Structure 1
């Protein structure tokens, strides 16, 4: 039986890699990487640095596949994501069939944590369900960009006795979620926070967390939203891509009476 490890490697800092992940990295025979092209070469370079630091002296191989392009302009969002995942699964299945042998251990290094807005687990489940390849899957959790964001701003994610919600920019653009005052937003290509400047809220924003290019801005949403939009646009122009997340927090005037 082949083994497949899905390893969360943090938000960009090689020191985010946990001791558990290091132990697993040192058992891997083949690391699989989906290359997103020259624009995002830094993402490949960070993975290479993680392996240099943590994979040990054991001989291993790194194999690359081309990450399929996704139709980001489609109005049928769910259908376009499903199609993209199927094509990613095709690429991964071909790589695994060609490069991994019975008794060997393969791995995918996943940004942040594999359980949070990442498609690797769904893709591997799809491959196994096709019945042509069979492998055991182990998941190693990692430091998510959400955890890194809170740490860099030195804040908690929730207020006393209150829930918080993790959502996407696409959903925030529709409305502020019901019954929560603290909203963590990921995958926001639309700067959806600008639609809520009328809210009495603070924002804690971060981009390229854990990397030398890290950007952090925080303050009252109405005051700093324009600054974030400008910083984000400039960073995207300079690098060709951006990875950012943020927390929106409406301050409660008083604690719930039952606390």
Structure 2
């Protein structure tokens, strides 16, 4: 039986690691470390830094290149499933080649494995392939937590619900019904610019939240939408990549 630990590491800032995360990584026999291309080399470097500077033990580290998802697949979910299958095959091969049958394998997950992340689904594919694994999740600080902390705001109004969604959903379906507060992740097209009632919506946006290059904007959507779009484009051009998230709340009538 392989023990597979999916360890949330927040933004990669060592201050965001829990004691449980550190102990789990230190106890691992093997750490799989993804590389996501030259543009996102910062993310791999942060993971390498955790291994070199935070851990008191020296687990074996094996790096691997992430396969690229085919964005041209007509059906979005078909492309994602094919991508996940490819990742599961890579994981399975690395575990087979670099660990014993009773090894403890760990992966460092950006943010937390529960929130818009694929590692748990890929682990399920390993089980479907017949690999005997016991999956453990070590929670990490999410980008949503870091966003609200950076802006010093509560996630929700008193007694009010929050919808967490994606840019694709916001763009295709508009503002979710029944919600005054919406958190949006995975939005590469600034889908907030398509909302018709921007004069009644406050937005709190953050790029690279929790990282040294963190950049924040907040205000009435109608007034700062263009500033966010420009700021995002400039930050992406400077760094070669960007991870951003935002929270929007409708003003009371």
What is the TM-score of this pair, normalised by structure 2?
0.96
Alignment of 1:146-161 (within 5 A): 146-161=144-159
* Residues matched between the structures, number: 251
Confirm whether residue 59 of structure 1 aligns to residue 58 of structure 2. Answer: yes
CA distance in 2, matches of 1:198, 1:155: 22
> What is the root-mean-square deviation of aligned Cα atoms in Å?
1.2
CA distance in 2, matches of 1:60, 1:168: 36
Alignment of 1:100-111 (within 5 A): 100-111=99-110
Alignment of 1:41-120 (within 5 A): 41-56=41-56, 58-120=57-119
Aligned to 1:38: 38
CA distance in 1, matches of 2:74, 2:163: 25
Confirm whether residue 170 of structure 1 aligns to residue 138 of structure 2. Answer: no
Q: Is the 8 A contact 2:26 2:59 kept in 1?
A: no
Q: Which secondary structure state, in structure 1, belongs to the residue aligned with residue 27 of structure 2?
A: coil
Summarize deviations over 1:116-156 as a string: whole Å, max 9, x none: 1111111011011111x212110001000000000000001
Query: How far 1:235 moved relative to its partner?
Result: 1.1
What is the TM-score of this pair, normalised by structure 1?
0.94
For residues 17 and 197 of structure 1, do their structure 2 counterparts lie closer, same or farther at Cα, with a shift above 3 Å needed?
Answer: farther
Aligned to 2:225: 225
Confirm whether residue 6 of structure 1 aligns to residue 6 of structure 2. Answer: yes
CA distance in 2, matches of 1:102, 1:53: 29
CA distance in 2, matches of 1:73, 1:206: 28
Summarize deviations over 1:79-117 as a string: whole Å, max 9, x none: 111111111111111111111112321101000010011
Q: Which secondary structure state, in structure 1, belongs to the residue aligned with residue 158 of structure 2?
A: coil
Query: How far 1:197 moved relative to its partner?
Result: 5.4
CA distance in 2, matches of 1:244, 1:155: 17
Query: How far 1:48 moved relative to its partner?
Result: 1.4
**Tell me, which stretches of 5 or more residues in structure 2 are unaligned?**
none
Confirm whether residue 187 of structure 1 aligns to residue 186 of structure 2. Answer: yes
Confirm whether residue 145 of structure 1 aligns to residue 171 of structure 2. Answer: no
Query: How far 1:252 moved relative to its partner?
Result: 2.1
Q: Is the 8 A contact 2:35 2:63 kept in 1?
A: yes
CA distance in 1, matches of 2:205, 2:60: 37
Q: Which secondary structure state, in structure 1, belongs to the residue aligned with residue 7 of structure 2?
A: strand
For residues 129 and 178 of structure 1, do their structure 2 counterparts lie closer, same or farther at Cα, with a shift above 3 Å needed?
Answer: same
Q: Which secondary structure state, in structure 2, belongs to the residue aligned with residue 246 of structure 1?
A: strand
